[in-house]
């Protein structure tokens, strides 16, 4: 999707079945807030570890904005005329257990041009900086290559009818299966569903191998059990 300053990107909302739109509506302003440096810390230390695979993390924006609509720092995503469905949280290199690589190298701030190019996929300049600093620096590639890879994967995804799914009892396994049906080549076993403490859909975590092919998630790597109930907050999306 080509992004233009002050241009409005609108996806058709009435498509039946799987929906291809990533941003339902996204207007990129002439200027965006500059991120601040994102660095390793005592709580988030530098870890240089071998990469065993990857996780592509998608955030369900209606639920995220339900809890952040009054936060000025979240106004690009949750205020004004912008509307999002699933947004791209990031592409995370995996390791063994809790020993995934992170903050592998010091890095300068991302350029405003790169941020504008990807902010309709990841609608936060600070989150873009964080994803590159924490995860992208461990992949041995440039920021442009990192976001090209993550957005290339994200841009090919399709989504089940979330409106329909939100209106009936739903389990994590059923949501994973519906996502797999909308995306041939992504098995349901490659989809982890996460929810907040109240049981509302938070994110989907898609498991990939080292060649970026979707693969069965490792047991115990997080997410709800298939039989667990999950609710979908619709918000302003539909």
List, for residues 174-226, the tens digit of each pLDDT value.
999 999 999 999 999 999 999 999 999 999 999 999 999 999 999 988 999 99
Please give the Cα distance from 69 to 148 (Å, whole number): 29
Q: What is the DSSP letter of 128?
A: H
Please give the Cα distance from 155 to 169 (Å, whole number): 29
- In this prediction, residue 17 has a pLDDT band, given cuts at 50, 70 and 90, of very low
DSSP string, 137-161: GGTTS-HHHHHHHHHHHHHT--B--
pTM to 2 decimals?
0.90
Order of strands across the sheet with 83-84?
Answer: 8-10, 23-27, 83-84
Percent of the chain scoring above 70 in pLDDT: 89
List, for residues 103-150, the tens digit of each pLDDT value.
999 999 999 999 999 999 999 999 999 999 999 999 999 999 999 999
With beta carbons less than 8 A apart as the criterion, state whether 95 and 104 touch: no
Please give the Cα distance from 102 to 139 (Å, whole number): 10
């Amino acid at each position: 999707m080509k992004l233009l300053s002050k241009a409005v990107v609108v996806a058709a909302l009435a498509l039946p079945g799987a929906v291809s739109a990533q941003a339902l509506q996204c207007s990129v302003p002439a200027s965006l807030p500059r991120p601040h440096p994102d660095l390793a810390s005592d709580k988030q230390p530098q870890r240089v570890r071998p990469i065993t695979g990857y996780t592509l993390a998608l955030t369900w924006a209606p639920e995220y904005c339900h809890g952040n609509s009054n936060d000025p720092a979240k106004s690009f995503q949750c205020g004004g005329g912008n509307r999002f469905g699933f947004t791209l949280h990031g592409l995370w290199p995996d390791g063994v257990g809790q020993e995934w690589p992170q903050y592998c190298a010091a890095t300068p701030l991302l350029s405003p041009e790169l941020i504008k190019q990807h902010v309709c996929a990841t609608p936060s300049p600070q989150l873009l900086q964080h994803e590159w600093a924490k995860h992208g620096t461990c992949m041995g590639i440039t920021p442009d290559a990192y976001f090209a890879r993550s957005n290339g994967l994200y841009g090919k995804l399709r989504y089940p009818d979330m409106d329909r799914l939100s209106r009936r009892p739903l389990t994590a396994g059923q949501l994973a299966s519906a996502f797999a049906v909308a995306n041939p080549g992504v098995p349901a076993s490659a989809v982890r569903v996460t929810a907040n403490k109240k049981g509302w859909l938070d994110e989907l975590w898609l498991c990939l191998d080292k060649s970026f092919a979707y693969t069965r998630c490792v047991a115990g790597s997080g997410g709800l059990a298939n039989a667990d109930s999950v609710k979908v907050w619709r918000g302003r999306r539909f």
